A and B are shown apart, each in its own frame.
Chain A
């Protein structure tokens, strides 16, 4: 896909992440938003429903609900129903602990919903090292309920140093359960920043994952691994960062950000309690600057057309440099391994 269609700014995002609450019943070590208890000033039901109206009026195709644990919100189904009533497709990211047979049956009444259940290892111990005790069995139980329903469902795994070797087994587990596998990129935001060094996959793990992905076309990665996408997966996803161009993120209190990994004051594009969604999308200085962002330092790279500099959020969190290019792209992983090899042979 070329930048030329999106650099001027689309009339609305194609999809957006809506973190409906920061409340969560788990304390995962890689949580991008450091979820704990709900914020005091989260959007009210009325405010949330007004936002759904705005998203529909602006032509947003899909809302990806996350948090926090979205099912912690007492009015979450009301918000989801309102999206569906407007024809907006939804995808819910959940830890699965609150999913019951009744709830799945209720959600399955509408064909516009998809659900991702977080599972961070094919082995119980690997998963629970990151997500806490009891999470493996709860997620598997939720996935079984979903697999028996009509809801398109998937395992969502964040690739970490601890589970990298288990990704093929997770794929087999997903197949045995009758769901798909989606692998997301671990980024150093929220609690993920605190645990970055312990959990980050090393360059050889990232390379091995990239090679495995090349032969696993039915594994979904969203846009999170375009920086690692091999030639074999061209056309299966985006080849550039979609933040502020194709997507954005609404936080629990109505603040709007370029993406879920950029939820800080530095990247705040606006506040839905002050401005309309349209005003923020069209006019926010933060969004305009990201639409014009060019990673010139990567332009000579042979892979530039495949990633356009990769993920600015990772570049910012690791190097405090939005224009520096993704420090963990495929090309830099190869370089890092070669450099390490040369150091080892020189020693």
Chain B
């Protein structure tokens, strides 16, 4: 069985803003303002990723924060689960 990953929902988009990431869901439409600064680039969500796959070089605390954030995005349906082939 393929491992579970996450990917931006097809109805959603994300871009970098000064404060961090701005998520847009055309189904609402609704917005999510994430104060991630430059920790997580918008391009990170362009392809399917492992749930715990995060950019390299982050401190442990930042990693924990980002893992929680990815789970929040899943919960709020901005991301969806996707098999990693």
Q: Which listed residue, B16, B24, B33, touches A62 by the CB 8 Å rule?
A: B24
CB-nearest residue of chain A to B12: A61
Q: Are A15 and B17 in contact (CB under 8 A)?
A: no
A residues within 8 A CB of B18? 8, 11
A residues within 8 A CB of B22? 5, 10, 14
CB-nearest residue of chain A to B15: A59
Q: Are B29 and A15 in contact (CB under 8 A)?
A: yes
The CA of A61 and the CA of B11, in the complex, are separated in Å by 10
Residue in B11, B18, B29, B30 whose Cβ sees the most chain A Cβ within 10 Å: B29
Flag whether B28 is at the interface (Cβ < 8 A): yes
Q: Are A111 and B33 in contact (CB under 8 A)?
A: no
B7-31: CB near A (< 8 Å → 1, else 0) gives 0001101011111001010101111
A residues within 8 A CB of B31? 1, 14, 246
Query: Could you say which interface size class chain A belongs to?
Result: 20 to 34
Q: Are B17 and A11 in contact (CB under 8 A)?
A: yes
Q: Which listed residue, A11, A12, A237, touches B28 by the CB 8 Å rule?
A: A237
Q: Which listed residue, B19, B26, B33, touches A114 by the CB 8 Å rule?
A: B26
A232-260: CB near B (< 8 Å → 1, else 0) gives 00001100000000100000000000000
Q: Are B26 and A236 in contact (CB under 8 A)?
A: no
Q: Are A61 and B33 in contact (CB under 8 A)?
A: no
Q: Which listed residue, A5, A59, A61, touches B26 by the CB 8 Å rule?
A: A61
Q: Are A62 and B26 CB-contacts (below 8 A) given A5-B33, A14-B31?
A: yes
Q: Are A14 and B10 CB-contacts (below 8 A) given A8-B18, A61-B15?
A: no
B-contacting residues, A112-132, CB 8 Å: 114
CB-nearest residue of chain B to A222: B29
Q: Which listed residue, B10, B19, B24, touches A61 by the CB 8 Å rule?
A: B24
B residues within 8 A CB of A15? 24, 29
**Given A8-B18, A12-B15, 16 more pairs with CB closer than 8 A:** A1-B31, A5-B17, A10-B17, A10-B22, A11-B17, A14-B22, A14-B31, A15-B29, A59-B15, A61-B15, A62-B13, A62-B26, A62-B29, A87-B13, A236-B28, A237-B30
Sorted nearest first, the 9 A-B pairs with minimum C-beta distance are A59-B15, A61-B13, A61-B24, A5-B33, A89-B26, A14-B24, A62-B26, A10-B17, A11-B17
CB<8 Å pairs between A and B, sample of 20: A1-B31, A1-B33, A8-B18, A10-B17, A11-B18, A12-B15, A14-B22, A14-B29, A14-B31, A61-B13, A61-B15, A61-B24, A61-B26, A62-B29, A87-B13, A89-B13, A91-B26, A111-B10, A114-B26, A222-B29
